[in-house]
Chain A
């Protein structure tokens, strides 16, 4: 099954049951998933930075404060119901723990959580922090979200892996 890359700063929503959205090699970035399983609608944003006071710009998933409302709008436009949404987030690592004082990863996670609560949404599952990068996949079929660290196993964060190759 071909996978749809969601590169840094991008966001994608779909209701194509064959589609698998993937953000490869998240470091301090956050992979934010919104899933309406009963309706087969999923979305994934690859968030780079906490916030911009200006507009979202061409990379609509770039800033947490824009990515959250835009991704929500896209999944709702496909027919998702806000009450039925499951939210998962992965990433936000501190890759170079020893020296970096900037802590982009932690600030990204905080900013995504803040924007979600402003939209009255809560996070159901996370794989965040630490010092390892992650790859996140969101399968439209079954509404499954997974996270994998380098040389690690694919962890199921949301949904069941029934009938979905994980």
Chain B
């Protein structure tokens, strides 16, 4: 079972902070409104607990998934409560229940995910790119577990970097999850000398 030291978890949290800070700026520019971030949490737990740590697994959520490739193997997942996804669409002037709404969320995911992984890549000298986004609305646990199981090297524990950001003055919060493969975690740590 993979085990990480406090220092390693802190360092990963700092990487998440850099990535989500950049993504937050991109979102603020897109919306023309101030966006704040919360302190990221690093989830390193047995699989079942890790899935529950992201949130109540039965809650309906809209998620945008971007698999990333290049020097880091993993997935970026944006997760919205349904009302918050609708609020975001409204801010962009699109109907949340239409195809346009879904593709707008996918595009937001694309822009935020790309800024996140680019910031991370620049920081640690990795070339990383996301694949095109896929969007779904379903139970949170089903979404997160499926992402974890798509990795060939899924272990008995999972490591995820969970950052939340919210648009000031609006009911619009989203969480931003980076789910590296087990090899990806080792690569990240070795790049930062941990």
Contacts and interface: CB of A to CB of B under 8 A. Distances in A.
- Asked whether A and B interact, the reply is yes
Interface of A: 5, 7-10, 24-29, 48-49, 57-59, 62, 93, 95-96, 98-100, 102, 104, 131-135, 150-151
A28 B145 contact: yes
A10 B145 CA distance: 14
Contact of A28 (B67, B134, B136, B146): B146
Contacts of B8: none
Contacts of B139: 24-25, 27, 133-135, 150
Given A48-B149, A104-B149, A59 B141 contact: no
Interface size class of B (residues with CB under 8 A): 20 to 34
Nearest to A26: B142
A28 B154 CA distance: 14
A74 B58 CA distance: 28
Nearest to B57: A25
A25 B150 contact: no
A131 B139 CA distance: 12
Interface string B119-154: 000000000000110101111111111100110001
Contacts of B137: 150
Nearest to A57: B156
A99 B132 contact: yes
30 contacts: A5-B48, A7-B47, A7-B52, A8-B51, A25-B140, A25-B145, A27-B142, A27-B145, A27-B149, A28-B146, A28-B149, A48-B149, A49-B149, A49-B154, A58-B1, A59-B47, A95-B138, A95-B142, A95-B143, A95-B146, A96-B65, A98-B134, A99-B67, A102-B150, A104-B146, A133-B142, A134-B142, A150-B60, A150-B137, A150-B139
A99 B134 contact: yes
A9 B47 contact: yes
B48 A95 contact: no
Given A133-B143, A151-B60, A29 B149 contact: yes
Contacts of B140: 25
